[in-house]
A and B are shown apart, each in its own frame.
Chain A
């Protein structure tokens, strides 16, 4: 079964850092495009970042320079390092596979909640 499981969320103070993990099973992350998408409480989905199978990475303007996406092929896991966190980064963070980089986000993980507050 193809599955993604996020972890690492929690409460962090403004300006702080957090690293999220996205562990994959049933497929190899290095052969697909893995995205991070977030959803603030009561709000819509927002695309955050993508790690291409070939190794390229891209970010939404709202997180560029603060967030870094990385991949550990030996662990079949993606990471999202989040620095200089702001209150507006508070959201549930999902990872999702996109086969062929055609916006076919499937499956999604269950999500992990990040709360930025003092």
Chain B
């Protein structure tokens, strides 16, 4: 199972929006609505930000939103804040009880 493809980096100024793409195939993202997004600060464990494409766990700001079209999922962070600077990874169900993660995107707040 190949990793989902994400851009290596993305950036924006405070208050701006940034969108991260996550491209898979018709066998993972395109087939299931089980796409999640994780935020990871250096040296820390990942934190769930979005699940089932668009759902936010309690405690996650509504500045974070998810979407999906075809084989590509996206995470948008609106109103960028300094604490949003982190690595972001997507994941998807890939069938046969397997999961696949993305290559990761480093978000920089300029």
Chain A residues in the interface with B (C-beta under 8 A):
35, 37, 43-47, 50, 52, 56, 58, 60-61, 94, 96, 102-111
Contacts and interface: CB of A to CB of B under 8 A. Distances in A.
A66 B14 CA distance: 47
Contact of B46 (A45, A52, A103): A45
Contact of A105 (B38, B52, B96): B38
Given A44-B3, A45-B104, A47-B91, A102 B47 contact: no
B1 A45 contact: no
B46 A102 contact: no
B74 interface: no
B101 A47 contact: yes
B71 interface: no
Interface residues of B, number: 26
Given A46-B3, A102-B51, 14 more contacts: A44-B102, A44-B103, A45-B91, A47-B100, A50-B97, A58-B98, A94-B45, A103-B35, A103-B36, A104-B36, A104-B52, A106-B48, A107-B48, A109-B45
19 contacts: A37-B46, A37-B101, A44-B3, A44-B102, A44-B103, A45-B101, A45-B102, A47-B99, A52-B97, A56-B97, A61-B1, A96-B46, A102-B34, A103-B51, A103-B91, A103-B92, A104-B36, A105-B46, A106-B47
B1 A108 contact: no
B54 interface: no
Contacts of A44: 3, 89, 101-104
The listed residue with most B CB atoms (<10 A of its CB), out of A58, A102, A110, is A102
Contact of B48 (A37, A104, A111): A104
Contact of A104 (B47, B51, B102): B51
B22 to A, nearest CB: 11
Contacts of A47: 91, 98-101
